[in-house]
Amino acid sequence: MHDLSLYLLDILENSVRAGATVITTTIVADRAADELSLAVEDDGPGLPVEPEQALDPFFTTKANKKTGLGLSLFRQAAEAAGGGLSVGRSQELGGVAVRAWMRLGDVDRPPLGDVAASIATMFATNPEIEFRVDLDQDGTRTSLCGPDIPARFSELTAFQEALP
């Protein structure tokens, strides 16, 4: 994966496949703290295993596969940029919570990429799911929710264009 928006798309797909009906994406960019974080939470059934096992590249919930590379690759990318990745239970929604963080200015941090395209892809092909997007750039917060997303889509593109 060459940018963070593709990792995000992969995590969103996991939530959709798990049967979530509400999925929240949170992206926080804090220049003062030199940190960028991306988080996805859902109201799906949650992890069937311990979090550490979910990060094992040879663990998957799919019957026809033997590997589950998405989360482990995301963790590797985050760690390479001085951060990490955690998987657990969403306090707000009750399903899975995935959060990756990394140094915003780290030379090894992948570019943010086209987050708007990833959100749009999942939004348009899964109309039965409520998507929420929370953005925070240096303390300036924006929240997009469900039907509001199309009308306020420009805020999402503006957020990503303001970051390297």
Partner 1 sequence: MADRITSPEQLKALAQKAKSDIDLREGRKETQVTVHMGTCGIAAGAREIVAAFMTELSANGVSSASLHQSGCAGLCEEEPMATITTADGTLYRYGLLDKSKVHTIVVNHLVGGTPVDAYLIKT
Binding interface with partner 1 (CB under 8 A): 1, 6, 9-10, 13, 16-17, 62, 64-65, 68-70, 73, 114, 116-118, 120-128, 149-154, 157
To the nearest whole angstrom, how small is the minimum distance from the Cβ of residue 83 to partner 1?
20
Query: Residue 90 and residue 46: Cα distance in Å, rounded?
Result: 8
* Residue 83 DSSP symbol: -
To the nearest whole angstrom, how small is the minimum distance from the Cβ of residue 8 to partner 1?
10
Q: Which candidate, 78, 117, 124, 113, places its Cα nearest to that of 98?
A: 78
Identity of the residue, 13 or 56, whose beta carbon is nearer to partner 1 in the bound complex: 13
Identity of the residue, 147 or 164, whose beta carbon is nearer to partner 1 in the bound complex: 147
Identity of the residue, 17 or 31, whose beta carbon is nearer to partner 1 in the bound complex: 17
To the nearest whole angstrom, how small is the minimum distance from the Cβ of residue 36 to partner 1?
20
Question: What are φ and ψ of residue 96, in 5° steps?
Answer: -90, 145
Query: Residue 163 and residue 38: Cα distance in Å, rounded?
Result: 13
Give the three-state DSSP class for 112: coil
Identity of the residue, 2 or 31, whose beta carbon is nearer to partner 1 in the bound complex: 2
To the nearest whole angstrom, how small is the minimum distance from the Cβ of residue 34 to partner 1?
28
Environment class of 121 (CB within 10 Å of its CB; exposed 0-12, middle 13-18, buried 19+): middle
